[in-house]
Structure 1
Amino acid sequence: MKDATKERVEKETADWQYMAELPNELHGFKLERLMEIDGDVYELFRYSSAEKHRSATAYFHEETKEYKLRVKIGLVEFCKMEYITGSFDTFELLLKTQLEGMLESLSRFDEADIGSILRSKKIMEWEYGRRLPVSLEGFQLFIAPAEPVEITNGSYIIIDYTDFAQETSFNIYYNMFRDEYFGEARIHNIPDVNYVFDSKELDELEKKLQEHLVPRLREIRQRAQQVK
C-alpha cells in the first residue's frame, strides 16, 4: 500500500469515536478492531461469528479509493454495494444507520427478506431440496434451498456444501437477472467453474444434480486432497 493511502486512512480514522464505541458483540457477532494493512486493503474492523461462519469487515480499498463493507458467508465473499463510498463521513453514517440491522439479518434466516422473483421460482418449497442430505462425500450442507441467501449482483446461494477444514465448497446459485441456475466450486478457496449445472428451470437443475452432484463433490474433494 502506498504511503499516501496509508496516511489518508490513518488521518481520517484517527480518534474514531464511532469505532471506539462499537459494542464488543452484536447479534452473536464478535468485534475485532483491526487497523491493519493486507495488500491494497486497509482493514478497519470486523464483526465475525465462527459458529455461523459469517462475518462483515469494514475497510478501505486502495485500488478504487473507496471505503467498503465486505461480507463473508461460508467461503463466499462479496461487497455490500450500498456501503461503497469515497467519503469517510458518508461511510460512517452508513455504518451508524445500517450496520446493526445488516448484522441482525446476517445472523438468521427470515423468509420476509426474500423477494418476489425468488419466491415465484418455488425454490424454498422444492421437494428435492428438502431431501438433500446434511452430509455428502465429506461436505456439510451449510445452506439449503429452504433458506436461500442473497449475495450480490442479483444472485442467491440456494445450495452450499462446504468442508470448512479444507476451505473447499460447492455452491448452486440462482441469478434473477439472467433467470438462470449455475454452479461454482471453491478448492482451497480458489474458484473453480464448470457449466454442467447451468439450467433455466428447477426441474432441469434437479435432473443435473441427481446425475452430477455426487461425482462433482468427489472430484472437488480429490483435487483438494491432491493440492495438500
Structure 2
Amino acid sequence: MKEFRPLSDQGTDSDYLIFTYENEENGWTVKATLNAATEEFFIRTDIGMLEFALVEFITEDFAIFRRNVESRLPALIRDYYVERQNNFSVLLLNKGITTVAWDDILPEQYKGLQRTVSPNDAVRIINGSYMILAYYDRQTRSGLSLMYNILRDDFFAERRIHNFPNLVHDFDSSDVRVLHDSLKKRLVPVLNAIVADMAEPE
C-alpha cells in the first residue's frame, strides 16, 4: 500500500493517490484517487491491457467513499480479481467458455508476452464484458486481449502497442468452437505481428 501523494500530469497535479493494492503475481492494481479538478473520489483498476474506474465508488463525499471502500472493496477485490470464479455470471457459464481445454492451444508466454488472463479464469471488466484472454508485456505496455460481451453474445479482441489500442478482427465470433479454431490458427500470427510492432520506435 502506498501513502497519499500527488500524481503529476504534465507538470500539474491532476490526481492524488490515496492507496494502492497490488497483486504481485500479475501486477494488477486497485487504487483509490482524488481528482483535483472535480474533487471526486475514484477506485481505479489496472489489469495491464485495460484500466478503468469502478463507477459505483465515484463520489464527492469522502465519508460515503470511505464507507463504500470499507464495506465493499475487499469482497470486490477478492471476487473480481483473486477468486474470479465467484464472479462468473450464468450467461458466461452457459456459454461454455470455462469448460474448454484451452491450455492445449494457448502458450503461457510467447516472445516476451505473458499470458495474464485465461478463459477458465476470466475477469469481469466493464460494459457487460469479461476479459477471457490476455497476453501482455508490462515494460512496453503492449499485448493482446480477448473479451466476451454477455449482452451482445460476441467475442472481440484488441491489441495495444505502447498502450495505443486497435481492434483485432481475427477472433470475431459468437461461437466457442469457432473461437477455439480461430485461436488455434491465428493466435501465433497475431502475436508475431504485435511483437514486430513492439520493436518499432514509439
Structure 2 length normalisation: TM-score?
0.87
Range that drifts further, 190-199 or 217-226:
190-199
Correspondence for 1:195:
169
Output aligned runs, 1:21-170, within 5 Å.
31-39=1-9, 40-62=14-36, 65-106=39-80, 108-127=82-101, 129-131=102-104, 132-170=106-144
Separation in 2, partners of 1:104, 1:113: 9
Distance in 1, matches of 2:146 and 2:158, equals 7
The 2-side partners of 1:59 and 1:140 are apart by 28
Counterpart position of 1:24: none
Report 1:3-22 matches (<5 A). Answer: none
CA–CA distance in 1 between the matches of 2:159 and 2:16? 28
Asked whether the equivalents of residues 112 and 137 of structure 2 are also in contact (C-alpha less than 8 Å), the reply is yes
User: What is the number of equivalent residue pairs in this alignment?
Assistant: 197
SS of match in other structure, 1:197: strand
| Aligned residue type for 1:38 | S
Q: Which has the larger radius of gyration?
A: 1
State the superposition RMSD in angstroms: 2.0
Structure 2: which amino acid aligns with 1:189?
N
Distance 1:46 1:59 in 2: 9
Aligned partners of 1:174 and 1:180 also within 8 Å: yes
Give the Cα separation in 1 of the matches to 2:20 and 2:84.
23
Q: Quote the offset at 1:199 in angstroms.
A: 1.1
Q: Distance in 1 between matches of 2:22 and 2:85?
A: 23
Kindly state the Cα deviation for residue 57 of structure 1 after the two structures are TM-superposed.
1.0
CA distance in 2, matches of 1:182, 1:81: 23
Q: Name the CA shift for 1:63/1:121 in 2 (closer, same or farther; >3 Å).
A: farther
Instruction: Give the match's secondary structure for 1:198.
Output: strand
TM superposition shift of 1:46: 1.4
- CA shift, 1:171, in A, is 0.8
Question: Unaligned 5+ residue runs, structure 1?
Answer: 1-30
Q: Using a 3 Å threshold, how does the CA distance of structure 1 residues 62 and 180 change in structure 2: closer, same or farther?
A: farther
CA–CA distance in 1 between the matches of 2:116 and 2:26?
Answer: 9
Cα 1:53–1:177 shift into 2, 3 Å: same
Letter paired with 2:69:
L
Change (3 A) 1:194 1:122: same
C-alpha contact 2:133 2:147 (8 A) present in aligned 1: yes
Which residue does 1:23 correspond to in 2? none
Structure 2 spans left out of the alignment, 5+ residues: none
